[in-house]
Amino acid sequence: MLDVVQISYHETFADDNYDLLKIFAPHAKRVQGVKGIFEAHQEAAKIAETSHFYVIDADAVMDEEFSFRFKPSSTKYVYENTPETNCVFVWRSRNPINDLLYGYGGAKLFPRKKLLEADNWRVDMTTTIGCPFVPKFQISNVTAFNTSPFETWKSAFRECAKLASSIIPHSDNLDNMYRLKTWQNKGADRLYGDYCILGAKQGADFGFEYKNKPQVLNKINDFAWLKEVFDDAT
């Protein structure tokens, strides 16, 4: 079985979710408290010992039907001249506020060597480290990000800034706009749903405004800056 690494950065239920993850992957490892999304993923690559490894976010509550059995093959080609072993795979997750099902917060599978060799990325970790992105349509988990007003707002702001800016290469703009509209309008009656909708609207505005300014857009990965924006907004 390939290595499985949970990445956490002060999430409320990280320990509980790690305990659940170990039911599915008893050999699972953790990276905790590393500042910076890119840096945390590279630390995960360092502690992984297999050629490819799964990354699970700390707010992921695993789906009972998911397994870590998939292994990419060097003889199967996803894209022309690109074997599975050179790709990043992302599974679907369920959004607990608006019920969207897509790759946001889902399980990810990275080629270890490629991630260790990467020296930069552009706003979105999964799709911009130089490996083709491949969606997997099985649901891996619920992304239980709605654990506090700030965590909920932050998650919605970051994701909707990405959707609005079309930062993800080769993504379907129609899908992006549907998801963006859903983030901004659905789920007010769910736990912290009003903070989700507020963050979605503000994140979309930010993404549209700075879509051609990646250095500014990359502020969505600065959690201290996000806290300041949240405090001003609320």
Q: Which residues of 2-14 are buried (b: 16+ CB within 10 A; e: fewer)?
A: bbbbbbbbebebb
Neighbours of 69 (CB within 10 A): 7
pLDDT tens track for 166-205: 877 666 788 999 999 999 999 999 999 999 999 999 999 9
- The per-residue pLDDT for range 71-86, each reduced to its tens digit, is 999 999 988 889 999 9
Mean pLDDT of 91-102: 98
Q: Do 226 and 220 touch, CB atoms closer than 8 A?
A: yes
